[in-house]
Amino acid sequence: MTRGARAVIDLAALRHNLSRVREAAPGTRVLAVVKANAYGHGLLRVAAALAVAVDGLAVARIDAALALRQAGITVPVLLLEGVSTPAQLAEARTHGLDIVVHHPAQLDWLEAAPPGDALAVWLKIDTGMHRLGFPPDASAQAYRRLCTCAAVLSPPRLMTHLACADVRDAPYTDRQLERFAEATRALAGERSMAQSAGLLGWPAAHGGWVRPGIMLYGASPFADSSAETLDLHPVMTLSSSLIAVNHVHKGEAIGYGATWVCPEDMPVGVVAIGYGDGYPRHALAGTPVLVNAQRVGLIGRVSMDMICVDLRTQPEACAGDPVVVWGEAANGQRLSVEEVARQAGTIAYELLCGVTSRVAFSTRNE
């Protein structure tokens, strides 16, 4: 029996969250974002489960797209960063990948491409994120260049990315949507603007295609609404078990740096999970952990392979008892990865992506 950290990926939860996408953005096509190893959930298991139910998958880089093709996944796959060399462009054509075009060099490569299969191209317009994309006043010209490329399916598609959609009343988002509408008014082609937050919070951003990521994995994209209120179910449960319970005297300290001092004689549980598994080292004392499906608090510093928890509310707990650090315990009790992330000064995305390769993954509800 393995006593280390385990991640269980619940495909029924994934399918449920996709149904929430469909409810929130009816009539749109869905490009499920599976970049960064499907936000740490395992690219192939997630892609295989979603491919039958979505209109396409999106990844950041070509290696992930090629892995999907190698695994026999035939649905459209979009490279969100496009290609970074002419050789990658040729590879994208060979494997029937869709690409984002966000940079003039990518236009040059498309214009110079030899005759052959045409690909679906998304012209990315920078409406305020200022990361990737053509400035609005350069987008019509880029669009015209794409229209003349034999390697590009006509008409090109149009996209942008929202910087502040997770803040529900950000005028910034309205401004981005206005800029996008203005820049694309005269241009034919399907449109895509919304990631999870845009999809849930900004109906005006739905366009023809939505690009959900985090909500598919069951985490809320908003700081002010929980996954539960959005009816999203956690897909990943990260768990381990108690490997020791110690009775520590009042005044004694726990863990590296001796930062947490016992206020009384008390039972302290040691859990076999640490930052070597992707549990955040900066999680504060008091960060909730489910021991036997009941909330207790983290105490002391997180170490590489272990964390310590305050067992004063569970004096009967013993080595071998189950521990969930985020996700769902056996009795259905949930602990959201967002709550843990908040306690660690980060976001759910980072924690989910950061689960390490020594964690044993398995799948349920296939």
* Closest residue to ligand PLP, based on beta-carbon distance: 213
Q: Give the shortest CB-328-to-ligand PLP separation in angstroms.
A: 21
Contact between residue 197 and residue 166 where contact means Cβ atoms under 8 Å apart: yes
- Record the tokens describing residue 252, joined without a space: 């004694």
Task: Indicate whether 221 belongs to the interface with ligand PLP (CB under 6 A).
Answer: yes
Q: What angle do CA 224, 230, 233 make, to 5 degrees?
A: 115
Q: Give the shortest CB-191-to-ligand PLP separation in angstroms.
A: 13
Q: Which of 331, 348, 328 is CA-nearest to residue 339?
A: 348
Q: Give the shortest CB-234-to-ligand PLP separation in angstroms.
A: 15
For 200, how many CA atoms within 13 A lie in the half-sphere containing its CB?
29
Task: Indicate whether 241 belongs to the interface with ligand PLP (CB under 6 A).
Answer: no
Q: Is 143 a catalytic residue?
A: no
Which residue, 157 or 301, has its beta carbon nearer to ligand PLP? 157
Task: Indicate whether 80 belongs to the interface with ligand PLP (CB under 6 A).
Answer: yes
- Record the tokens describing residue 177, joined without a space: 């949507």
DSSP type of residue 304: S
Contact between residue 86 and residue 109 where contact means Cβ atoms under 8 Å apart: yes
Which residue, 211 or 301, has its beta carbon nearer to ligand PLP? 211
Task: Indicate whether 195 belongs to the interface with ligand PLP (CB under 6 A).
Answer: yes
Candidates 206, 211, 301, 334: give the one binding ligand PLP (CB under 6 A).
Answer: 211
Q: Give the shortest CB-360-to-ligand PLP separation in angstroms.
A: 25
Task: Indicate whether 214 belongs to the interface with ligand PLP (CB under 6 A).
Answer: yes
Q: How many residues of this chain interact with ligand PLP, rule: CB under 6 A?
A: 12
Q: Among the options 35, 124, 217, 279, which is catalytic? A: 35
SS (H, E, C) 76-144: CEEECCCCCCHHHHHHHHHCCCEEEECCHHHHHHHHHCCCCCCECEEEEECCCCCCCCECHHHHHHHHH
Which residue, 213 or 234, has its beta carbon nearer to ligand PLP? 213
Q: Give the shortest CB-83-to-ligand PLP separation in angstroms.
A: 15
In the three-class reduction of DSSP (H, G, I as helix; E, B as strand; rest coil), residue 332 is classed as coil
- Chain-centre distance of CA 276, in angstroms? 20
Q: Give the shortest CB-166-to-ligand PLP separation in angstroms.
A: 8
Q: Is 279 a catalytic residue?
A: no
Candidates 20, 161, 233, 301: give the one binding ligand PLP (CB under 6 A).
Answer: 161
- Neighbouring-strand partners of residue 57: 32, 77
255 φ/ψ sector (left φ>0, alpha ψ -120 to 50, else beta) = left
**What's phi and psi for 196, nearest 5 deg?**
-55, -50
Which residue, 18 or 289, has its beta carbon nearer to ligand PLP? 18
Q: Among the options 39, 256, 275, 279, which is catalytic? A: 256
Contact between residue 125 and residue 159 where contact means Cβ atoms under 8 Å apart: yes
Which residue, 252 or 350, has its beta carbon nearer to ligand PLP? 350
DSSP type of residue 296: E
Q: Which of 22, 18, 19, 73 is CA-nearest to residue 45?
A: 73
Task: Indicate whether 220 belongs to the interface with ligand PLP (CB under 6 A).
Answer: no
Which residue, 100 or 306, has its beta carbon nearer to ligand PLP? 100
- Record the tokens describing residue 87, joined without a space: 């050789």
Which residue, 35 or 179, has its beta carbon nearer to ligand PLP? 35
Task: Indicate whether 196 belongs to the interface with ligand PLP (CB under 6 A).
Answer: yes
Candidates 11, 13, 25, 33: give the one binding ligand PLP (CB under 6 A).
Answer: 33
Site residues for ligand PLP per CB under 6 A: 33, 35, 80, 161, 195-197, 211-214, 221
What is the set of active-site residues? 35, 256
